[in-house]
Amino acid sequence: MSNWKDNIRIVDPYTPGEQPKDKNIIKLNTNENPYPPSPLVEMTIKNFSEDLNRRYPDATADKLISNLAKYHGCDKNQVFAGVGSDDVLGMLFLTFFNSDKPILFPDITYSFYPVWAELFKIPYQTIPLNSSFEINISDYNIPNGGIVIANPNAPTGIYLDKSSVEEIISSNPDSIVIVDEAYIDFAPEGSSCIDLIDKYDNLVVVRTFSKSRSLAGLRVGYALSNPEVIKYLNDVKYSYNSYTLNSLAIEAGSVSIDDEAYFRKTIADIVNTRERFAKELENIGFDVLKSSTNFLFAGNKNINTEDLFNYLKANNIYVRYFKSPRIDNFLRITIGKEEEMERLIEKINEFLTQ
């Protein structure tokens, strides 16, 4: 055996949801948006100049960054963009979590957090959610090297009220607190912590274009914070890859922000479908956690959840099932189009009555 094998960083990677290619599958397993991106995106891609492919992209992604700054009413130097929010989060972990003390995040949350911690050899401690799958904010008043809160949380869909998030941030002035707002556009207005970035120098808010902007395939995510945090983050980015976003992502991502009416319309449609579908699931005996996202987390103690998951899959409906402690009798179901959810209810009923 060659000795080079002694020097490998051996890791247990994150498992993304399946991406079946069959167009007949109703795909409710990765929280994609059922509606296409803004028509402006398609137009931009069709009119894309070949010269933008030939040349290196703008390393600063200025067009996208400027537009995001304008959208959120902050300065350009408060915005950092990456290849999806995973790239942004990974880089945040690498840049700011270099303490000997453990970073903290809930036991049930985005399952990529422990994977980044393992990859970069960052000590971490998970903090159990309470029996209602809620965060108990006083649990975070312990020595730590950083905190990560997904709000709304995944896969539960539960939103932690803003004043509670603020208390975690203000109680931990010596730690970077990342608030991962991947799903916040599906929560009630005024839920976001973005307006706190000027108040707390330890706060970083992370967003993605993959859910509310229907652009999972384009890979765009971003972080908002104070200029100092963004500068350190950019230094690490430029030490890894000068040009992370390709020119198409910069151009198409940027114009998608311009179509606010379309954006609000698709979000409202998804929220309406979510509320109707949640009631239907409750009517047939499911416990449905209160969702502020584009998915539902629902369980039924009278059935074998894994069997239901497999039954749906056999019927060309993909949802997500986590065979993990505390949540192995729940399914995470992305909100699709009305007709997709009707078909799903039909098949669940079929399973229940078989």
Residues 72-131 that bind a copy of itself (CB under 8 A): 83-84, 86-87, 90, 94-99, 115-116, 118-119
Strand arrangement, sheet containing 124-127: 79-82, 221-224, 203-208, 177-180, 147-150, 103-106, 124-127
State how far the Cα of 19 lies from the Cα of 321, in Å rounded to an integer.
15
What type of residue sits at position 140? Y
- Please list every residue from 292 through 351 that binds a copy of itself, using CB under 8 A: none
Strands 147-150 and 177-180: what pairing? parallel
- Please list every residue from 132 through 161 that binds a copy of itself, using CB under 8 A: 145-146
Q: Is 9 in the site for a copy of itself (CB under 8 A)?
A: yes
Nearer CB in complex with a copy of itself: 151/175: 175
Nearer CB in complex with a copy of itself: 158/251: 251
Query: From the list 4, 24, 163, 354, which residue makes contact with a copy of itself (rule: CB under 8 A)?
Result: 4
Q: Give the nearest distance from C-beta 12 to a copy of itself in angstroms.
A: 8
Q: Give the nearest distance from C-beta 132 to a copy of itself in angstroms.
A: 30
| Token pair for 58 | 């703008």
What type of residue sits at position 316? N
Nearer CB in complex with a copy of itself: 78/305: 78
Q: Is 218 in the site for a copy of itself (CB under 8 A)?
A: yes
Q: Is 22 in the site for a copy of itself (CB under 8 A)?
A: no
Query: From the list 70, 75, 123, 173, which residue makes contact with a copy of itself (rule: CB under 8 A)?
Result: 173
Query: From the list 79, 104, 160, 176, which residue makes contact with a copy of itself (rule: CB under 8 A)?
Result: 176
Identify the three-state secondary structure at position 20.
coil
Query: From the list 25, 59, 137, 352, which residue makes contact with a copy of itself (rule: CB under 8 A)?
Result: 59
CA 292, 297, 302 angle in degrees (round to 5)? 145
User: What crossing angle do the helices spanning 338-352 and 305-314 adopt, rounded to 10°?
Assistant: 120
**Any residues with CB less than 8 A from the CB of 209 and at least 6 apart, and which?**
84, 215, 216, 218, 220, 221, 253, 256
Q: Give the nearest distance from C-beta 130 to a copy of itself in angstroms.
A: 27
Query: From the list 151, 153, 156, 202, which residue makes contact with a copy of itself (rule: CB under 8 A)?
Result: 202
Find where tokens 């159990």 sit. 128
Q: Is 49 exposed, middle or buried (0-12, 13-18, 19+ CB in 10 A)?
A: exposed
- Please list every residue from 234 through 273 that binds a copy of itself, using CB under 8 A: 234-249, 252
**Any residues with CB less than 8 A from the CB of 222 and at least 6 apart, and which?**
68, 79, 80, 81, 82, 85, 88, 206, 207, 208
- Please list every residue from 38 through 57 that binds a copy of itself, using CB under 8 A: 41-42, 45-46, 48, 50-57
Nearer CB in complex with a copy of itself: 72/219: 219
Nearer CB in complex with a copy of itself: 126/234: 234
Q: Give the nearest distance from C-beta 296 to a copy of itself in angstroms.
A: 19
What φ, ψ does residue 184 adopt, rounded to 5°?
A: -60, -25
Q: Give the nearest distance from C-beta 143 to a copy of itself in angstroms.
A: 11
| Token pair for 207 | 């967003």
Query: From the list 201, 287, 306, 307, which residue makes contact with a copy of itself (rule: CB under 8 A)?
Result: 201
